[in-house]
Chains A and B, each alone.
Chain A
Amino acid sequence: MQIRDILILLKEEFGKSILKDEQLRPNRALIRINPDNIVDVAGFLFTKHGFRFIIASGFDSKEGIEIMYHFMHDESGFILNVNVVLPREKTEIESITPLIAGANWIEREMMEILGIKFINHPQPEKLLSKDNWDEGVYPYRREIKEV
């Protein structure tokens, strides 16, 4: 499979939910999707097309709280980055853990470092900070310069 092929397939399947698609380099691509479609897109890539979920990187940008889900197609050697932007006033997104067990820890980590709520996460507990961290303080938000 070529990187172009998967971008075409994604546009055919999800149409207007794909807000942006870009091939950045020969083996890297970026798509921005509507946050409501994350489970469908992750299922399409992971279950139907054999992509491996590497990890997701959460960060605070000018546009809001963003998550970059990194998927890799091992046989073809390319990485597809799936980006979603969550408005600051409603940092909620559907969890992909019921679909991909490997996403369990990273979603819990993003929950405690960035304050993103993952709906339907099977185990929504803190992963790293446990009980000794103040509620509502999210260290990877832009307002926090140094911890």
Chain B
Amino acid sequence: MVKKTIIPVGPYHPLQEEPELFKLYCDGEIVTDIEWETGYNHRGIEKLSESKTFDQVFFLVERICGICSTSHPFAFANAMEEIGEIKITNRAKYIRSIIGELERLHSHLLWVGLAGHFLGYNTVYMWAWKYREPVLDLFELITGNRNSYAMFLIGGVRRDIPDEDINKIQKILNDLKPKLDLIKGAVMDDPILHLRLKGVGILTRQDIIDYCAVGPTSRASGVPGDIRRDDPYAAYDMVDWDVITAEEGDVFAKAEVRILEMYESVRIIEGCLNGLKKEKEGDINVKVKNIPPGFGTGHHEAPRGEVFHFVLTDGSNSPVRHKVRAPSYTNIATFKKSCVGQTISDATISLAAVDPCYCCTERMVVLYDANTAKPIMNGLELIRLCQKKTETLKQKHIF
């Protein structure tokens, strides 16, 4: 009998921010196979969506993921507008693209920081997270929220960007550009990172095609797919920008693609701000009477790749079926190719390189008694417990 060593990473592990279990099958230091277990946080959002009205679904899908909290509403809006054959105003298109690109900026900065942290390069971690703050401030200025922006609705957006804010936004972007240069230099000109990341976790063009990977993961392996260019929506075909690709397919190439993409996001936002100046203020949504029976397929190029929503309707005001495909669903599966044959120490950064988002990938929490296997607490009881604790804290600290 052949003995195998299994190194478990998870389900709860300091390296990962969400629950998942990687089983690394090892021969000495070399990973020979990898298996992934999930379902620790399956929330049944697709089923829940069937009991919501279309307007409520936006708030639901926004909570699929905290980082791409606008990508899901974006793709859902595209799907619904496809069913209803709704044309949105140019001003709404520009605002949608601005929100989408700001999200890419904050998400890529977050990833660069985390990747630096995983490698023990904490300067990059501190810088990236520090300079991500102004992007979140921009979100607060535009939407009123630093996260979960609640900007989308069928037929447009909920809030306008007033003309007097355009210069403020431009100023924050101007201040951000030298910071991006700083981070770019710290990553791409660092000889140690070159040594650490080049040739590690390589995904070939064929791996990407076989596993149907998307986003920066595929673009770093020379597959130039980008939904914003291939199937344009919102204002992406109304402004100038380029798709960033690299050929090497290693972790360094993925970092390079994400860093250079941030500059393109700034370009898109600037183009959209210029476009906004030409459009009438307040013209941000069109009236939508009803959604006919049919189906729609909407997608959006989220920071991690294509978010895809399939919505089936029957003429009522809620979906009959709502399928959500987050980019990590296809990207995580590439671990089989990127980690096998590498050492254990390289496996961690190869895992992190696709910027995995498990929340998106699985979408009720019930606590079970380990001995009797009976449920001991449901969601409602958990909320009551939280409220009770808040109440105690309030009394203790006299708010």
Contact surface of A with B, Cβ cutoff 8 Å: 25, 27-28, 52-55, 57, 59, 68, 70, 72, 74-75, 77-79, 81, 100-106, 127-130, 132, 139-140, 146-147
Check: B362 CB closer than 8 A to any chain A CB. Answer: yes
The answer to whether B310 has its CB under 8 Å from any CB of chain A is: yes
Residues from chain B with a CB closer than 8 A to the CB of A53 are 212
Given the interface pairs A57-B323, A127-B39, A129-B39, the reply to whether A52 lies near B225 with Cβ below 8 Å is yes
9 smallest CB-CB distances across A and B, nearest first, come from A102-B212, A57-B323, A59-B321, A55-B325, A128-B39, A77-B231, A77-B230, A57-B310, A74-B225
Q: B125 in the interface, Cβ–Cβ < 8 Å?
A: no
A114 to chain B, nearest CB (A): 10
Size bracket of the B interface: 35 or more
Are A105 and B231 in contact, with the CB atoms below 8 A?
no
Given contact pairs A70-B297, A128-B42, A101 touches B333 in the complex (Cβ within 8 A): yes
The answer to whether residues A127 and B38 also contact, given A52-B225, A55-B323 and a CB cut-off of 8 A, is yes
Please, which residue of chain B has its CB at the minimum distance from the CB of A75? B230
A77 to chain B, nearest CB (A): 4
Interface string of B318-345 (1 = CB under 8 A from A): 0011010100011001000000000000
**Of A75, A101, A105, A129, which is in contact with the most chain B CB atoms at under 10 Å from its CB?**
A101
- Decide if B316 is an interface residue (CB 8 Å cutoff): no
Given the complex of chains A and B, what is the CA–CA distance between A74 and B230 in angstroms?
6
Shortest C-beta distance, A20 to chain B (Å), equals 14
Please name all residues of chain A whose beta carbon is closer than 8 Å to the beta carbon of B42 when the two chains form the complex. Answer: 128-129
Q: Using Cβ atoms and an 8 Å threshold, which residues of chain B touch A70?
A: 297, 308, 310
CB contacts (< 8 Å) of A27 on chain B: these are: 231
Q: A100-B210, A101-B210 are in contact. List 7 more A-B contacts (CB 8 A).
A: A25-B82, A54-B299, A55-B330, A102-B213, A106-B329, A128-B38, A147-B44
The answer to whether A102 touches B211, judged by C-beta atoms less than 8 angstroms apart, is: yes
A-B contact pairs, 25 of them (CB 8 A): A52-B209, A52-B212, A53-B212, A54-B299, A54-B306, A54-B308, A55-B308, A59-B312, A68-B310, A74-B230, A77-B230, A77-B232, A78-B231, A79-B297, A81-B297, A100-B212, A101-B211, A101-B212, A102-B210, A127-B38, A127-B39, A139-B47, A146-B51, A147-B44, A147-B364
Asked if B37 is at the interface of the complex by the 8 Å CB criterion, the answer is yes
Provide the bound-state CA to CA distance between A103 and B38, in Å.
17
Cβ of B333 and Cβ of A59 under 8 Å apart? no
Residues of B bordering A, CB below 8 Å: 37-39, 42, 44, 46-47, 51, 82, 209-213, 225, 230-232, 295, 297, 299, 306, 308, 310, 312, 320-321, 323, 325, 329-330, 333, 362, 364, 368
Q: How far, in angstroms, from A140 to B306 measured CA to CA in the complex?
A: 24
Q: Given the interface contacts A25-B82, A28-B82, A57-B323, does A105 sit within 8 Å of B44 by beta carbon? A: no
**Are B325 and A54 closer than 8 Å at their CB atoms?**
yes
B308 to chain A, nearest CB (A): 5
Task: Given A54-B212, A55-B329, A59-B321, verify A139-B231 contact (CB < 8 Å).
Answer: no
- Complex: chain B residue closest to A99, CB-CB: B210
In this complex, what residue of B is CB-closest to A101? B210
Q: Which residues of B have CB within 8 Å of A72? A: 230-231
Q: Is the CB of B329 within 8 A of A105?
A: yes
Q: Report Cα–Cα, A27/B213, bound state, in Å.
A: 22
- In the complex, which residues of chain B have a beta carbon less than 8 angstroms from the beta carbon of A28? 82, 297
Residues in A with CB closer than 8 Å to B231 are 27, 72, 77-79
B51 with A130: CB separation less than 8 A: no
The answer for the CA separation of A121 and B42 in the assembled complex, in Å, is 23
Closest beta carbon of chain B to A71's beta carbon, Å? 10
In the complex, chain B residues whose CB is within 8 Å of the CB of A55: 308, 310, 323, 325, 329-330
Neighbouring A residues of B329 by C-beta, 8 Å: 55, 105-106
Chain B residues, Cβ within 8 Å of A146: 47, 51
A146: nearest residue on chain B (CB-CB)? B51
Closest residue of A by beta carbon distance from B298: A79
CA distance A77 to B231 in the complex (A): 5
Give B189 Cβ to nearest chain A Cβ, in Å: 33
CB distance from B381 to the nearest CB of A (A): 18
B325 (CB) vs chain A CBs: closest residue? A55
Given contacts A52-B212, A102-B333, A146-B51, whether A130 and B325 have CB atoms under 8 Å apart is no
Is the beta-carbon distance between A130 and B44 smaller than 8 angstroms?
no
Name the residue on A nearest B373 (C-beta): A132
Q: Which residues of B contact A104 (CB under 8 A)?
A: 333
B47 touches A130 (CB 8 A): no
Most central of A68, A81, A102 by chain B CB within 10 Å? A102
Q: In the complex, what distance in Å separates the CA atom of A128 from the CA atom of B37?
A: 8
